Amino acid sequence: MASVTGKRWPIVGVRLVSEFPYTEGEVKYGIKEYACTAVDMISHHTCLAFLNVQAAEEALPRIVELMGRELNWDEKKKEKELETARRFLYYEMGYKSRSEQLTDRSEISLLPSDIDRYKKRFHKFDADQKGFITIVDVQHVLDSINVQMDENTLHEILNEVDLNKNGEVELNEFLQLMSAIQKGRVSGSRLAILMKTAEENLD
């Protein structure tokens, strides 16, 4: 079901999303295990919808294309499957609430003292003063305070705040997050909790 890639990892198969270990071959296998819809595939067979809704949405077009090929779907059927799966992610898997909580147009309304405090917190992670933090920066700080967290979880945590989806959380994005938390529009941000905990342990 999957061909040898010639790469160190994955040895066989093409990944649906680079950060997660699900390959295109698993779509074919899922169909044999009675996954008959795109929602079945992202929720029951691969569980991508539960691991990371953004990754699931990114993988959807390819999943629908592969399922369409195997199940002889026409274009109308593929469009319907794609729309149904996106609505599933949006309304049932929390994508709607997350996307409405924080957007790239969210205003920053913080007191100067709060901005200074949050900048200091941000710079504990951005030790090189780049103006942004990556998963490597977060992992480095977590290692220094003996906190273990798997890479996939870290990707998901940063992706919740990375508004322009460039793989980096910029200072402005972090300040937007903290402002939204203060206003009560965002609750339970894992990155905010993680950075506050790290700051307390580093001081």
Structure tokens at 152: 């996939």
Per-residue pLDDT of the chain (203 residues; tens, 9 = 90+): 444 444 443 444 577 766 666 778 888 878 887 778 999 888 877 777 777 777 788 888 999 999 999 999 999 999 999 989 888 887 777 655 454 454 555 567 788 888 898 999 999 899 888 889 998 888 888 888 787 777 877 888 888 788 777 888 888 888 888 888 777 766 667 788 888 888 777 76
The pLDDT value given to residue 47: 74
Return contacts of 171-175, CB within 8 angstroms, 24+ apart.
171/119, 171/122, 171/126, 171/131, 171/132, 172/108, 174/118, 174/122, 174/133, 175/108, 175/110, 175/115, 175/118, 175/119
The pLDDT value given to residue 193: 81
Alpha helices, DSSP H only, in 2-134? Answer: 24-32, 38-40, 48-51, 53-71, 75-87, 95-101, 112-125
Interhelix angle 112-125/135-144, rounded to 10 degrees, is 80
- Which has the closest alpha carbon to 41: 3, 11, 71? 71
Residues 136 and 130: beta-carbon distance below 8 Å: no
pTM: 0.47
Distance CA 67, CA 28 (A): 7
Q: Is 83 helix (H, G, I), strand (E, B) or coil?
A: helix
The pLDDT value given to residue 201: 77
Residues 15 and 55: beta-carbon distance below 8 Å: no
Burial of 172 from C-beta contacts in 10 A (0-12 / 13-18 / 19+): middle
The pLDDT value given to residue 9: 39
The pLDDT value given to residue 11: 43
Structure tokens at 19: 């950060």
The pLDDT value given to residue 12: 43
Distance CA 43, CA 59 (A): 12
The pLDDT value given to residue 10: 42
Distances from the Cα of 168 to the Cαs of 21, 144, 146, in angstroms? Answer: 22, 21, 23
Length of the chain: 203
Specify the amino acid at residue 117: R
